[in-house]
Structure 1
Amino acid sequence: MHPKNFVICDVEKEYARNLMQAVGARRELGFQMHLFQSLEHLEAFSKKKKIHILLLGEEFPIDKRQEICADERYVLVKGKEKELLSGERGIYKYQSVDAILAQILEESMDKGELGYGRDTKDGQLIGIYSPIHRIGKTKFALELGKELLKDGPVLYLNLEEYSGGGFYFPEQTGQNLGDLLYYIRQEKGNLGLRISTMAGQIGEMDYITPMPVIQDLREVEEEVWLKLLREVFSNCIYKTVILDLGDGIKGLFPVLRNCQTVYTLYTDDPVSLAKLQQYTENLRLMGFEDVLEHTVQKKVQMKAGDA
């Protein structure tokens, strides 16, 4: 699912900038923020990109506002509501960002959907992916998980073709990610309890043993991965889910799109940089350029034994 374009257009430049920064800081909501001071520039933008949520200052004439297309329309009012168009809702301008967002989310966010249409205030999905192999990606993911434990429970899922098996995941519970996917397909209840019985631990971070058979991993459809993640966030205690992603899964780019943050590791040797550039171009050519907008490219120094 595409991220939602959240657009603010207001004549008070400092107010609008502060509001944009405050909303944009809520990264878990996954909004793509855009700021304008004039309706002319806003109208030009609306002809190129879809506007999901629009906040307009009350100063703009009503006949001009109606020319701007948007899924959800709010007018920032300073006191008694001005005349509003059909489909517009007034929202008091000088209140806290939390109050503004509470009204918008209550009325316009799609509940229960994965990714940017999903209410993610209680969790974040982080993807770790690199087109460059043997770059220490799994080690980085596990270290990141340890850091994120400070904010709440973390679940680590390895979706690589070759995960390292018992080297990284010594605690075997007799069940693996394939068993969890089967359970999800059966649509049985109490997923949280099921995961608790399947999960091993690295320190205090939970993990599900990766799928041991490569072909089984490759055959899992994109929709099944997305359903799994929806169910985990809806029914489990985890504040963060970390996906350690390889090239072998179907729907890699859609899964990356649904992550609030994607960490892409690279080194500065010519071959690695060429692979990184090719990956970036593939995202653009396939219509997934928005993945780059929430990607953090991280340069690493390779050491013996990194994988």
Structure 2
Amino acid sequence: MRKIRAAICDEEELYCSRLVEYLQANQSEMVEACVCSQKKELKKLLLESGVDVVLMTEDFFAPDILSYGGVIFALLGDEMVSEEYREYPCILKYQKAPEILRGICRLAGERLDDTKMVSVLGKEKRSVAFYSPHQEFSQMYLAMGYAKICAAKERVLYLNLMECAGFEELFEEKYKENIGDFLFYLRRQEKNLRLRFESMLHQFGDVDYLPPVFFGEILREAGKEDYQALLVWLLVETDYDVIVWDLGGMFAGFFDLLEQCAEIYCLTRENQGAKQRLGQFLQCVEEYGGAALRERLHLIPVSGQCVISQGKSLMQELEWGEFGDYIRKQLKGGANVEGAGG
């Protein structure tokens, strides 16, 4: 699959050098970006290699540059855009480098022709689900820790389908789009879905994730066919080895999704209420999928309080702290989790 080629152009050399460092370490799977600090570098790039998207400051706007056809030209600027440049899309210059790349992906996804993207079937992949009938509060951290540990050896995508997951506070991040938006794009079969998907991706550690919905009711509004379409699209159009589904409740097509998971981790507690809810859930599993589904279901007992550090130490604790050790001990059936029992 050919990557979208992008040029980011700014005469401020310090800005360019720092951006180059980021791009070299974090090149996007979908976007191959380079930095130009002079007009002659951009002209050479346009002439020799072909560029899909050019993101540039006002200093680079010139008739001989804008004359190249089949290229998306966008302004790298601030919120105060001069009138002569308002016809061009604008991406803010002074924001985090990942946001700039996501902006390029959004722009390309909206404007580039579908023929630039080619769908390919990826290698063998597996889906893993986490669920708690009594809505165990530590489930999210367990699923995230599992994803983080697997990401040491494999490419992992984490999808949180919970109401009020709290990611904005957890990661101190404001998300422009989330998984609800992608379900909408997928339902409408909008062009360049792969680029739209790429533009939404965020990371914790080596794990990619789509931000959870902000309004939980969106999860109920989506239908069975929406979640099935999402699963199929991820399996066909991406090259993740593992897709981790962190489930908060039963939505339309809930058991259809579970049936396509290689492993299902179900968190339980010893109190009477949790046991009652677990019992009913197990009955539902038997009635829907029988023994074939039940044998992929692993019960994980939870006791005491789960205290997880926030901020920068969260990722280390999920993987290597006491909680990481707990994950390795409890997640049976996860052959790719180092140290997990079979």
TM bucket normalised to smaller: 0.5 to 0.7
Does the Cα contact within 8 Å between 2:228 and 2:253 map onto a contact in 1?
no
Unaligned residue ranges in structure 2 (runs of 5+): 1-120, 309-342
Residue 304 (structure 1) shift? 5.1
Counterparts in 2 of 1:109-258, with a 5 A limit?
122-258=124-260
Residue 296 (structure 1) shift? 1.2
Q: Read off the aligned partner of 1:133 and give its amino acid letter.
A: Q
Please give the alpha-carbon distance, in whole angstroms, between the structure 2 residues aligned to 1:302 and 1:233: 37
Cα–Cα, structure 1 residues 150 and 304, in superposed 2: closer, same or farther, change >3 Å?
closer
Match of 1:296 in 2: 298
Residue from 274, 277, 280 that aligns with 2:279: 277
Which fold has the larger relative contact order, with Cα–Cα distance below 8 Å and residues 6 or more apart in sequence?
1
Please give the alpha-carbon distance, in whole angstroms, between the structure 2 residues aligned to 1:201 and 1:301: 29
Please give the alpha-carbon distance, in whole angstroms, between the structure 2 residues aligned to 1:149 and 1:189: 30
- Once the two structures are aligned, what percentage of the paired residues are identical? 28
**CA offsets, 1:140-171, max 9 Å, x none?**
00000011102322111111122123133433
Secondary structure, in 3 states, of the residue corresponding to 2:127? strand
Does the Cα contact within 8 Å between 1:192 and 1:232 map onto a contact in 2?
no
Cα–Cα, structure 1 residues 265 and 134, in superposed 2: closer, same or farther, change >3 Å?
closer
Unaligned residue ranges in structure 1 (runs of 5+): 1-118
Cα–Cα, structure 1 residues 120 and 300, in superposed 2: closer, same or farther, change >3 Å?
farther
Cα–Cα, structure 1 residues 124 and 171, in superposed 2: closer, same or farther, change >3 Å?
farther
The aligned length equals: 188
Residue 137 (structure 1) shift? 0.5
Does the Cα contact within 8 Å between 2:259 and 2:289 map onto a contact in 1?
no
Cα–Cα, structure 1 residues 188 and 248, in superposed 2: closer, same or farther, change >3 Å?
same
Q: Read off the aligned partner of 1:303 and give its amino acid letter.
A: Q
TM-score (norm 2): 0.51
Cα–Cα, structure 1 residues 120 and 301, in superposed 2: closer, same or farther, change >3 Å?
farther
Q: Read off the aligned partner of 1:217 and give its amino acid letter.
A: L
TM-score (norm 1): 0.56
Please give the alpha-carbon distance, in whole angstroms, between the structure 1 residues aligned to 2:154 and 2:192: 21
Does the Cα contact within 8 Å between 1:217 and 1:248 map onto a contact in 2?
no
